[in-house]
Amino acid sequence: MIHLLYVDPDATRSAWLGALLEASGFRIVGRATSGEDALTQAGQCQPQVALICLRLPDISGAETTRQIMEHHPVPVVLLVDPPDLVGPGARESARCGATAIIETPPAPEAPGHLPKVAALVKTLRLMHEIPVVKRKTLRPHLWLPRPAPTGPPILIGLAASTGGPAAVQFLLQLLPREFPVPLLLVQHMSDGFSSTLVEWLRRTTPLKVEPAEDGVAPQPGTLYVAADQKHVVVRSGPVLTLEDGEPVQGHRPSANIMLESLARTLGPRAVGIVLTGMGDDGAEGLLELRRRGGLTYAQDEQSCVVYGMPREAVRRGAVQSSMSLAELAEALQKLAGPNAPDKEKSP
């Protein structure tokens, strides 16, 4: 049984959703209807995961999450109504330290009820295993990089491990649907999980999400997720190639292989980002990308679940700047050029 703190001011929804969660293997050890009550409960009931509505009658669910992560860290899934999935609501949610954001399931009689409840259950189970640490308030000032002199990037490479699914979800939610640059993700995961990750990101983010396939030319506004047990290599075109090479330092797909190929093929027209995760995969590849003129970034320590991969990249001198997820999203929109649509204006 997974111990759950459930924070919801809607008594009717709390009754039917709480019953469904308990039938799905969760034990609700704490219930709250306000942010202040949630903060008290978080310190008393010791949940393994918290489910918090963004809209609360006193302080917001985002502020509640921020305080929980500072004082009683626990994985938090934010329930967000559809109007708040874009614009200021999305940005507030992404900055607060929650491990996932998911759309509030509709009532039992409404269309789409069962699939969205199933998605919520899957997300809670996935997130409750993520280790979290006390989170400090993010720095208020944002440094934005200058676009490469050769023009906007052609492809953005992402590397992640522990905590990566939630980090990638945050990042995609803050980008517009029409984001004009494709992205390629190497996420360390158990065999068989890549398809689940693709489906989850499709449901919870505005961009297209596709598995990386051999011979595919990356398209704008699309995230390509590396397949299980296949290295993904970027070749001239650019096109994606899947290879069966040996694992590199235990990883297949390897972020180092992906980023090194990005460096060789696109050089200054590529961006590389190392996100939360254990180990050092991606550090050498990011360094090679920087050597060849590409732009290189890492998720900052304050916003990481595990500051292993970013730390190693910083230690090797591969990182030009470390940023929070919200800052990275803003930086990527600036890099994409003046014609990139604004998130708030995107439908």
pLDDT in tens, 69-98: 888 888 888 898 877 765 565 556 656 667
Overall pTM surpassing 0.85 (yes/no): no
- The yes-or-no verdict on residue 136 having pLDDT over 70 is no
Structure tokens given for 51: 């489910």
Instruction: State yes or no: is 34 an active-site residue.
Output: no
- The yes-or-no verdict on residue 7 having pLDDT over 80 is yes
Give the per-residue pLDDT at 137.
42
Q: Report the mean per-residue pLDDT for the chain.
A: 87
User: Which of these is catalytic: 188, 231, 261, 324?
Assistant: 188
Burial class (CB in 10 A: 0-12, 13-18, 19+), 304: buried
Burial class (CB in 10 A: 0-12, 13-18, 19+), 15: exposed
Instruction: State yes or no: is 14 an active-site residue.
Output: no
Structure tokens given for 65: 């999450």
346 or 316, which is more confident: 316
Q: How far apart (Å, rounded) are the C-alpha atoms in residues 15 and 219?
A: 44
Q: pLDDT category, 237, cuts 50, 70, 90?
A: very high
Q: pLDDT category, 342, cuts 50, 70, 90?
A: low
pLDDT in tens, 139-181: 433 444 444 446 789 999 999 998 888 889 989 989 999 999 9
Neighbouring C-beta atoms of residue 254, cutoff 10 Å: 26
3-state secondary structure 109-166: CCCCHHHHHHHHHHHHHHHCCCCCCCCCCCCCCCCCCCCCCCCCCCEEEEEECCCHHH
Residues 6+ apart with CB under 8 A from 165: 100, 126, 187, 197, 200, 201
Q: Which domains does the chain have, with CATH numbers?
A: 2-127 (3.40.50.2300), 155-345 (3.40.50.180)
User: Which of these is catalytic: 14, 93, 161, 303?
Assistant: 161
Q: How far apart (Å, rounded) are the C-alpha atoms in residues 115 and 174?
A: 24
User: Which of these is catalytic: 281, 300, 322, 324?
Assistant: 281
Structure tokens given for 261: 């190929």
Give the per-residue pLDDT at 147.
47
Locate all alpha helices (DSSP H) within the chain, ordered by sequence: 11-23, 35-45, 61-71, 88-95, 113-127, 164-173, 193-204, 255-266, 283-291, 309-315, 325-335
Instruction: State yes or no: is 281 an active-site residue.
Output: yes
- The yes-or-no verdict on residue 187 having pLDDT over 50 is yes
Neighbouring C-beta atoms of residue 234, cutoff 10 Å: 26
